[in-house]
């Protein structure tokens, strides 16, 4: 038996978000998350069933575009493949347990390409870049790609520009798996770098997620 003092494991990290690992097993991970006022976990797609228990504070949880305000005494069960996010819009810290229960591997893979490099792809449609900020935006993309390349599972990150003019760029990000992409997406690096890009664009960028089905490369 192991008794864990959750209060002693509470941490406040960079950007007002702290994460401590309570358990790390093949089919079970438990992380305690603290979000200070104004901090958030950006919307992402779950790669396994997740159960969230709020320990302290109150948060706004978004699931597939719908928002719910949840406090202590509530348990959230979230299925695999759901788009979700968490934000602390209150003045007090939000502390919660995120219990992830990966499904056992199937004996027969869903696709002959499961497990191949590049099987998880993120296509980002950036909001239009502000006039006169194109060179700064391209420099930011290059610099941020060098940081993301240090994360586990990173394969490539490419910037696309419109052929017929305009200021709406797009990016293609390849990762070994949805799990490695999610770890990068929720990292402090990602939060810091995308905050730097916010003054360069007009509006919100749109992410789209894909699993590679077939690929032909020369």
Query: What are the residue boundaries of the structural domains of the chain, listed by start?
Result: 7-100, 120-211
* CATH 3.30.70.100 fits domain 120-211: yes
Average of per-residue pLDDT values in the chain: 86
Which helix (H) or strand (E) covers residue 184, if one does? helix 178-185
pLDDT bracket for residue 118 (50, 70, 90): low
Domain at 7-100: CATH code: 2.60.120.10
Q: Is the pLDDT of residue 204 over 90?
A: no
| CB distance 24 to 55 below 8 Å | no
User: Would you tell me how many other CB atoms lie within 10 Å of the CB of residue 40?
Assistant: 19
pLDDT bracket for residue 85 (50, 70, 90): very high
Q: Is the pLDDT of residue 47 over 90?
A: no
pLDDT bracket for residue 14 (50, 70, 90): low
Structure tokens of 50? 């997740």
Beta sheet of 59-63, edge-to-edge order: 40-45, 83-87, 59-63, 66-70
| CB distance 190 to 205 below 8 Å | no
pLDDT in tens, 134-192: 999 999 999 999 999 999 889 999 999 988 777 889 999 999 888 888 888 888 888 89
């Amino acid at each position: 038996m192991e008794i864990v003092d959750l209060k002693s494991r509470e941490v406040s990290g960079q950007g007002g978000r702290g994460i401590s690992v309570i358990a790390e097993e093949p089919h079970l991970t438990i992380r305690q998350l603290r979000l200070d006022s104004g901090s958030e976990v950006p919307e992402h797609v779950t790669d396994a069933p997740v159960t969230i228990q709020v320990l302290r504070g109150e948060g706004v949880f978004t699931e597939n575009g719908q928002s719910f305000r949840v406090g202590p005494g509530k348990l959230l069960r979230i299925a695999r493949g759901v788009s979700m996010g968490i934000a602390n819009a209150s003045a007090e810290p939000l502390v919660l347990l995120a219990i992830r229960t990966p499904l056992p591997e199937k004996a027969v893979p869903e696709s002959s390409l499961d497990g191949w490099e590049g099987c998880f792809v993120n296509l980002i449609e950036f909001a239009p870049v502000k006039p006169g900020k194109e060179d700064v935006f391209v420099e930011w993309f290059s610099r941020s790609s060098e940081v993301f390349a240090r994360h586990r599972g990173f394969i490539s990150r490419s910037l696309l520009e419109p052929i017929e003019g305009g200021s709406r760029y797009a990016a293609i990000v390849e990762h070994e798996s949805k799990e490695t992409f999610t770890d990068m997406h929720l990292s402090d690096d990602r939060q810091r770098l995308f905050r730097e890009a916010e003054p360069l664009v007009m509006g919100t960028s749109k992410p789209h997620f894909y699993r590679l089905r077939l690929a032909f490369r020369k």
